[in-house]
Structure 1
């Protein structure tokens, strides 16, 4: 609520959002703005060193996607932007230092698509994509329960079977690859959440509302 400020101040400082809200019938100069929580990206996952290097040869990472240790159990928006600058520069420096010693990428194997066809069922990909978004928001959102996480895990198993069947019959597309990646990420998030029997940072689970006295890493060990 910023209605305590003069209308001209609001219009001058927030012209875009003021105009957008007026189109929705909301005047932020006269009353509060309704808000809802939104998902905040991946909250890390790829382990890196101070040089932004991962344990996969030829891969460096920086920003929201990493687990650098700078954020503890929470992901703060402004901090993650600064992390992009710091680790982006670290990655560039390290790449330049070892550029001449990097191995050539391996040859890509010949691809046999003689037994697959172009798909006339691409609506399946869009449907699965939408379903992942929905159940991850509803079951794996801000407040979690073991029951909801188990429901999400069940849906992921079913969708993986569908996607693998689709993958084996039709030509590969970027949308299909991204769908597989989404499922892998969703599965890692759910399995990590199920393995953590406490609430910490932005992982709050009603079955285990207390934070353990000793922090334990979330990285899954096969």
Structure 2
């Protein structure tokens, strides 16, 4: 058994930024279930939204965020996070991040839903640079990074109706189960894009933190709101189905790229007055509609109309990766499709990152702060992640001085030592979950499809429960178990919302219903599926 003051589960932007604040104040352990730099942060191409121009204002950024959130953002949260933007930019610069600049200062991009240029970036590799800089700083602290270590469940005890977290049960690199006891536990596990067949997310995005918090009894909010990025490179058969789809940053459309059919007809002006700069859900639904009418497998993104910048210099990552697949963005349009990108719901937290479970915090995509509401404004995710990681860390430092470690144990710690004999079953259930979600609970939903998804997921759950109890935990088994819980949360939340709002569109309820559903969807207790 290990003991520490601060246990951080996840090594992306939220986890590492938290660790940099916490390490000077106590023993800090960071868990990474695979390579510590294979994170969703690493793949964030576009940048970080912040008010950095004299032509912009907090008021404008707040209004853009609230508008896209479709009436269910928490306005106090939006205000605090937006107004913290410049401070976070300075913090990142102090750590060694060098943002792109021009003669006016920061070179700022504009993306869908923004009314001003306010996205600070490092070419089209912002997330990669953030990850590298944060990791370099973290390894030079006293924080201990444990790689290939998977948190299986949270250690939670309940007294007088209040649940408290005392750390986590961990599958160690050598395959054994070990407790890590902590005064404070921070979930920074990212999202769950792998719940769908086509996703921009890395393979690690299996909703581990969401599922663990749900099983521990934390309050879960707004899981029906799943954002699909409109432009991911279409690669039929080029990769195994389980691999990530390559994202083409929204900044390309901000600089002037256009969307056309295979025949070359531009279509976005017919769907929204903002055309290619419409919010992501509008563009994704437009692409879905076009493909439904044409029967094609993809639309085209043409970056050649971009003027005033060298495509190779402004978008080197996109240029090089597209070239690998035989596409030269300077000479031809590229095939794109929407892909699951970001979970706007998550584990509820307050403005200090505290969840409904004592001593458990959540930051980043795993958390629901109220910032995004029913739809996320582009590049607000990294802003929220860093603001909340800093606020959570500052609060956790204070709390850690008042609490002690405990040997209290959670009842349902996995104890089987029998290795999995039926890997083909786990693989089948993994793929089945993703196919069910893609077919029945994707961008366009209906009660019939959602009820079918619910029934199929119940059958899959029966099989998984048997395997989970029978066999020793393994990475594949635990990830599939977690992915199933996330899928169930999305479907249950979607069935509860009898309207269409933001990212949730139900053909049976095509209108927004403010009278009955201008509110958050809340799941408060874990029920075994």
TM-score normalised by the chain length of structure 2: 0.39
For 2:405, which of 89, 104, 113 is the aligned residue?
Answer: 104
For 2:522, which of 192, 213, 219 is the aligned residue?
Answer: 219
* Contact 2:303/2:329 (8 A) holds in 1: yes
For 1:150, which of 427, 438, 451 is the aligned residue?
Answer: 451
Task: Identify the range of structure 1 (103-112 vs 141-150) with the bigger mean alpha-carbon deviation.
Answer: 103-112
Q: CA deviation at 1:172?
A: 2.4
* Cα deviations by residue, 1:114-143 (Å, 9 ceiling, x for unpaired): xx6322212211221122122212211111
Q: CA deviation at 1:177?
A: 2.2
- Cα 1:35–1:105, aligned 2, differ >3 Å: closer, same or farther? farther
Identify the structure with bigger relative contact order (alpha carbons < 8 Å, sequence gap 6+). 2
* Contact 1:117/1:171 (8 A) holds in 2: yes
1:35-114 matches, within 5 Å, as 35-108=336-409, 112-113=415-416
For 1:180, which of 458, 462, 481 is the aligned residue?
Answer: 481
* Contact 2:468/2:481 (8 A) holds in 1: no
Distance in 2 separating the partners of 1:194 and 1:123: 31
SS at match of 2:489: helix
Distance in 1 separating the partners of 2:524 and 2:361: 21
Pairing 1:189–2:189 present:
no
* Contact 1:139/1:152 (8 A) holds in 2: yes
Pairing 1:140–2:441 present:
yes
Q: For residue 2 of structure 1, what is the aligned residue in structure 2?
A: 303
* Contact 2:414/2:472 (8 A) holds in 1: no
Q: CA deviation at 1:56?
A: 0.7
TM-score normalised by the chain length of structure 1: 0.89
* Contact 1:50/1:90 (8 A) holds in 2: yes
SS at match of 1:202: coil
- Alpha-carbon RMSD: 2.2
Distance in 1 separating the partners of 2:307 and 2:361: 48
Q: CA deviation at 1:59?
A: 0.8
Q: For residue 23 of structure 1, what is the aligned residue in structure 2?
A: 324
Aligned residues: 220
- Cα 1:207–1:105, aligned 2, differ >3 Å: closer, same or farther? farther
- Cα 1:105–1:129, aligned 2, differ >3 Å: closer, same or farther? farther
* Cα deviations by residue, 1:155-208 (Å, 9 ceiling, x for unpaired): 110011001111232222233222222111111110110111000110011111
- Cα 1:74–1:8, aligned 2, differ >3 Å: closer, same or farther? closer
Q: For residue 206 of structure 1, what is the aligned residue in structure 2?
A: 507
* Contact 1:52/1:87 (8 A) holds in 2: yes
* Contact 1:6/1:29 (8 A) holds in 2: no
- Cα 1:27–1:75, aligned 2, differ >3 Å: closer, same or farther? same
* Cα deviations by residue, 1:47-87 (Å, 9 ceiling, x for unpaired): 11111101112211112122211112112341111001111
Distance in 2 separating the partners of 1:5 and 1:182: 39
- Cα 1:5–1:50, aligned 2, differ >3 Å: closer, same or farther? closer
Distance in 1 separating the partners of 2:309 and 2:350: 48
Distance in 1 separating the partners of 2:334 and 2:382: 26
- Cα 1:218–1:78, aligned 2, differ >3 Å: closer, same or farther? same
Pairing 1:122–2:423 present:
yes
* Cα deviations by residue, 1:84-124 (Å, 9 ceiling, x for unpaired): 111100100001111122242443468754xx632221221
* Cα deviations by residue, 1:8-44 (Å, 9 ceiling, x for unpaired): 8122222232232233232222332221111123222
Distance in 2 separating the partners of 1:4 and 1:112: 60
Distance in 1 separating the partners of 2:306 and 2:524: 53
* Contact 1:199/1:205 (8 A) holds in 2: yes
SS at match of 2:340: coil
- Structure 2 gaps of 5+ residues are 1-301
